[in-house]
Amino acid sequence: MLNIVLFGPPGAGKGTQSEKIISKYSLTHISTGDLFRKHLSEGTDLGKLAQKYMDEGNLVPDEVVIGMVEVKIKETGDVAGFIFDGFPRTVAQAEALDQLLESRNTPISGMVALEVEDDELRNRILERGKDSGRADDQSIDKINNRISVYKNETLPVAEFYKNQDKFYPINGVGSIDSIFENICDKIDSFK
């Protein structure tokens, strides 16, 4: 199996690139942000619980996120591989993911990390906020909070994969297609 962690700060382009990766490599998408937004729109208990964290740009507690991903992995049958998008966002989540994949006898192949500087992130998210309808895209304070949560809580996840020799940084600034080409070069080197 080909199991990819697509990593990067909010606004780095993970959603855009994951669509292209999925169609090229036939991977199963697990985006925790999308899963939470689906719960929110359906008004489930999980959605209600997650909303207060998401609206402020804070992380949903690990046990909630891990439980949701566990269900998703377990209900998925035989697939070519998974792409994890927006997950893991803490070292505890990364450890849990390794264990979940161990139970399917398949490891993470590599982490592709999109790198974009803060000012560009802020501009992109504010632009997206004009029509995304996402509460967390609407104010500069919330956006800045997401960027600092990323630095404090999520960046250590990159170290986790560096220690496993599975870290592949990519410049996330440029045309969508040229970034995608660079991503594919890395992914092809995993196989």
Task: Write out the catalytic residue numbers.
Answer: 14, 89, 128, 134, 146
User: 83 and 17 in contact (C-beta within 8 Å)?
Assistant: no
As a whole number of angstroms, the distance between CA 184 and CA 188 comes to 6
Residue 57 sits in the site that holds ligand ADP (CB under 6 A)? yes
Q: Is 66 in the site for ligand ADP (CB under 6 A)?
A: no
- Member of 17, 18, 32, 109 binding ligand ADP (CB under 6 A): 32
Rounded Cα gap, residues 118 and 147, in angstroms: 8
User: Any contact of residue 25 with ligand ADP (CB under 6 A)?
Assistant: no
List the x/- string, 103-142, binding to ligand ADP by CB under 6 A: ---------------------------------x------
87 binds ligand ADP (CB under 6 A): yes
The H or E element that residue 28 is part of is strand 28-31
Judged by CB under 6 A, the residue of 4, 27, 40, 65 near ligand ADP is 65
Dmax over CA atoms of the chain, in Å, equals 43
Amino acid at 106: T
The residue from 39, 72, 124, 146 that contacts ligand ADP (CB under 6 A) is 146
Number of neighbouring beta carbons within 10 Å of residue 83:
23
